[in-house]
Structure 1
Amino acid sequence: MKKWKYIKLITLAILFYSCSNPEENSSVEAMYFPPNNSSTWETKTITELGWNESQVQPLLDYLELKNTKSFMVLYNGRIVMENYFNGHTSSTPWYWASAGKTLTTTITGIAEEEGFININNKVSDYIGTGWTSATLAKENLITCKNLLTMTSGLDDTNDAIDPASLTYVADAGTRWAYHSVFFKLQDVIAQTTGQTWDNYFNLKLKTPIGMTGLWLQTITENVYWSNTRSMARFGLLSLNKGNWNGTQIVNQDFFTNSTTTSQNINLSYGYLWWLNGKTSYHLPSSQFQFNGSIIPSGPNDMFMALGLDDQKIYVVPSKKLVIIRMGNAADTQTAALSDFDEVLWQKINAVINP
């Protein structure tokens, strides 16, 4: 008799807890993925989420003041905010800049899963020797993983990636330096798959998740351009650890490694992804170590694709958020990381944490 009494009490407690915690109940709502080849995209309102509606306009005012062209917030895959500024529209393409590095990461993971490459193998195994000006012994130390983690040891004083510009500074793996040499991974992919980089990218990533856009070659870089929703689709794929509506686009273990500290020099860097909430970080064009988190106001589990002129993909698993910002440089600082991130997150927090 006493046993049944306890069971009834436990059952009542569970019912009370579930009824009194709507936020917990809402967490069971299925992740949403927008259909491909359609403008349809489910939405969620600020009111439905219990966010602070009075702080939305100050956020939008700040974004417009800071030369923003588009801003999107996804919660659990659904659009909560989608705003365009300064003549930009939902169909206007814009450049990802270095935020597009993470596209190269994803394709590298797919190519490895399909058996074309092994990221622990040296780059010269795939594109031949002489792709740098380093000695053969030093060049052969550089693996594909070194390119993913920015630890090639090659000179980073300019972004050119011709052999004459890729000179030896330190042994691979012993120095972190932000550099465009990672683009050599696109040559590796093209060589090993027997396809152009664009074709393999379109087949394995762009088409499966319904992105639009194209790669445009500059003197030193191959830059991706797309509309804002396409960037948000990639952010949603990333929130789901490489899974798109039940289809694993990129191996989950590879994706997890991509968004985890990849070396012991810059703790805030994975495989071309920036990581928040670490105890220290390095900035592009610097060998100085800064203590603390990159964006103190941002969530500790956030990982980020960051590009020149403040192109942003923020992914926050704990809050089921993907946040996109495209535009011109917010301030005079134009590097991938800027003070803009910190102030922007203070504004975002005022909305999502009432």
Structure 2
Amino acid sequence: MKKLKWVLGIVLIALVVVAYFNYPKLNLISGYASKNLASNVFIAHRNPVDVNLYDHDMSLINLAQSKVSQKDKSATASVYGLMQRKAVYKHGLGAVLTNDEYTQHNFFETPHRTIVTDTLPFPYGNNGVNDTILENVDYAKLEVALTNAFKNPEERTRTLLVVHKNQIIGERYIRGFSKDTPILGWSMTKSVLATLYGILEYQGKINVNTTAPVQEWQNDDRKNITINHLLRMQSGLAWDEDYFKISDVTRMLFLASDMTKAQKENKLVAQPTEIWNYSSGTTNLLSGILRGQFKSHQAYLDFPYAELIDKIGMHSMLLETDLEGNYVGSSYGWATTRDWAKFGLLYLNKGDWNGRRIFSESWVDYITTPTQGSNGTYGAHFWLNAEGKYADIPRDLFSVNGFQGQRVFIIPSKDLIVVRTGLEEQTDEQFNTLLSEILQSIN
């Protein structure tokens, strides 16, 4: 009995120490857990037990205890009963963390969707896939590449899709996932948000080289920041993109009602173009600027779906909003693996979608031009291989990247799209190996 009391005492002391040093983070931990659980259950229709067991199996997040309420479509989480947070779901808008200002979505508009049922196969429709065998593909080698991608459980790959010549040539999913499961793209959503600017520019409604229309900046040096600077992450504004502490990005995602303000309120630490600094706050600022281009909130909500998402048949895609109704362009876009591939194919085909032009060819040149200060790794809300980060892969590769190794790789010279989703970030070497093995199967 004394030994048991001693052990329990040690455990209690350990819990107190952990709570003491991490108490300021509890709001973020329970916020992440409740928001992620609500979105996965109500958007992706996943089993909450699996989400808690696998998705929340990461440092600190695994301290949270989370549960779902089907009654009010919500999820709550806390850390040993401390700092409970709640996320609520609304159809068409996704899940959002509540706070002291709001206990639910504070507006009624939801996006109007146009979902067309057709008889075309992927990619221009959703009626299955072509079963044509491409003569230049060694399917046995491709099968080995797919198998290798899932061989190491520590890499936590969930889905993998290979598209060549507009045709799916390889596809694989782990248990609990299928072609119909929406996947959170995290920062892949940034590239979707940027594409909306490409569409507006093609329509003659905006010029990315004009100064950003932010009223608060007009009386200081920030007035010289252009939309181009924001798209290239070279505005010179202060920003701390650290997900493992209380930082600009974690305060924005898990505490803010209006995520478009986080970057807007920061000061300059350098003049535009002097430094490159990756910033999720910048993308959400761009989302707020985008909202200002429309006469109504409804028009803003409808635009991404009417002019991009539903127009190319990405009907599984959902962009989540914050409590003020702004699209969280930095992080919260969901789509099936096949629909993420469609987004890549739109860029592979330089803005043309089965004869319908979505944005100009010059937009692809723009987003793939290396940004000063990024060492050739970043364009305009897209990642690049211009300096050979992936040593064995063509330099024309560009990609859509997200947290935990979400990727859409676009390789124009090989007419190739590779989509990988998972729960673990991969090194450049690991991605280089994956892509190399796939390319070796294509003559």
Residue 7 of structure 1 is matched in structure 2 by: none
Residue 188 of structure 1 is matched in structure 2 by: 289
The DSSP-based 3-state class of the residue aligned with 2:292 is helix
1:215 matched to 2:298? The reply is no
Q: Please, which runs of 5 or more residues in structure 2 have no aligned partner? A: 1-120, 241-247, 253-260
Residue 267 of structure 2 is matched in structure 1 by: 167
1:49 matched to 2:132? The reply is no
Moved more, 248-257 or 202-211: 248-257
**Aligned-residue offset at 1:168:** 1.7
The DSSP-based 3-state class of the residue aligned with 1:97 is coil
1:302 matched to 2:397? The reply is yes
Moved more, 144-153 or 192-201: 192-201
Instruction: Go from structure 1 to structure 2 and tell me whether the alpha carbon gap of 1:214 and 1:238 turns closer, same or farther (over 3 Å shift).
Output: same
The DSSP-based 3-state class of the residue aligned with 1:351 is coil
The correspondence for 2:334, drawn from 217, 225, 245, is 225
Among all aligned residue pairs of Structure 1 and Structure 2, give the percentage whose two residues are the same amino acid. Answer: 27
Taking CA–CA contacts closer than 8 Å with sequence separation of 6 or more, which of the two structures ends up with the larger relative contact order? 1
Instruction: Go from structure 1 to structure 2 and tell me whether the alpha carbon gap of 1:297 and 1:198 turns closer, same or farther (over 3 Å shift).
Output: farther
- Decide whether the 8 Å contact of 1:277 with 1:296 is kept in 2: no
Q: Aligned partner of 1:343: which letter? A: T
Within-5 A mapping of 1:1-354: 34-36=123-125, 38-45=126-133, 48-51=135-138, 53-54=140-141, 56-65=143-152, 66-123=155-212, 125=213, 127-130=214-217, 136-157=219-240, 158-159=248-249, 160=252, 161-162=261-262, 166-180=266-280, 181-196=282-297, 197-212=300-315, 213-217=317-321, 221-263=330-372, 265-278=374-387, 293-330=388-425, 338-352=428-442
**Aligned-residue offset at 1:40:** 2.9
Please give the TM-score of this superposition, normalised by the length of structure 1. 0.76
Q: Distance in 2 between matches of 1:82 and 1:33?
A: 13
Q: Please, which runs of 5 or more residues in structure 1 have no aligned partner? A: 1-31, 279-292, 332-336
**1:158-177, Cα deviation, whole Å (9 max, x unpaired):** 32452586232101111101
Q: Distance in 2 between matches of 1:340 and 1:166?
A: 36
Q: Kindly tell me the number of residue pairs found equivalent between the two proteins.
A: 295
**Aligned-residue offset at 1:69:** 1.4
Q: Distance in 1 between matches of 2:172 and 2:216?
A: 48
Please give the TM-score of this superposition, normalised by the length of structure 2. 0.62
The DSSP-based 3-state class of the residue aligned with 2:304 is helix
Instruction: Go from structure 1 to structure 2 and tell me whether the alpha carbon gap of 1:96 and 1:195 turns closer, same or farther (over 3 Å shift).
Output: farther
- The CA RMSD over aligned residues, in Å, is 2.4
Q: Distance in 1 between matches of 2:376 and 2:435?
A: 21
**Aligned-residue offset at 1:338:** 4.5
